Amino acid sequence: MQVVFDAQLLVAATAFAGASWLDWPDVPPYTHHPEQDCLGIVAWAPRYHDVSLVVSHGLLTQVQATLADEIGLVQRDIDSYLTAVLSLVRASGGSVDSDLSASATGHPPHVSIPLELARDGHRLVVAQHSALQRLGPFWGAARVPILSAREFAVRTDAARRSPP
């Protein structure tokens, strides 16, 4: 299953300054921090062969801008975090896709970029942003599934615990 995380989720997964984002949790079991669980799910996906992360340059630019402008992280830490995210993308068998026409959805970029990445690739959106969550559980004619970080962590935990 290919997943697209929105920028808000990727920002929240850092737990901001002083984060232990180099040691994302192994799910199962899920923890009290669903955004970090989502990246933990992707980090451990090669072991379970179940999830791959898809991002785009536009999505990563949103993450970088939010971490710099709203959170106040220094560029060195932002670069390290984005490098770690890109490593997860590669290790999970995901991809860095080209940005599509965000105007096609009629939503602002923080909503439209994840939707476009998911719609054209038949992918799942895992969203932290409330505007994206309100569009779920299925969005548009393509019926793009949209889950919250907690829903994704709980469902993945259950799937990984069930016998093959």
Buried b (16+ CB within 10 A) or exposed e, 91-108: ebebbebeebebeebebe
Phi and psi based region of residue 101 (left: phi greater than 0; alpha: psi -120 to 50; beta: remaining): beta
Classify strands 95-97 and 138-139 as parallel, antiparallel or unpaired.
unpaired
Domain coordinates of the chain in residue numbers?
Answer: 2-159
Show Cβ contacts of residue 115 under 8 Å, excluding neighbours closer than 6 positions. Answer: 105, 107, 125, 132, 135, 139, 140, 144
- The pLDDT assigned to 90 comes to 95
Q: Give the whole-angstrom CA distance, residue 23 versus residue 131.
A: 29
Classify strands 144-148 and 138-139 as parallel, antiparallel or unpaired.
antiparallel
Provide the whole-model pTM. Answer: 0.88
Q: Give the whole-angstrom CA distance, residue 154 versus residue 23.
A: 19
Residue 55 bridge partners (DSSP) = 96
Q: Please name the CATH architecture into which domain 2-159 falls.
A: 3-Layer(aba) Sandwich (3.40)
Report pLDDT digits (tens) over 90-134: 999 999 998 766 556 677 777 878 888 888 778 999 999 988 888
Report pLDDT digits (tens) over 32-62: 888 888 999 999 899 889 999 999 999 999 9
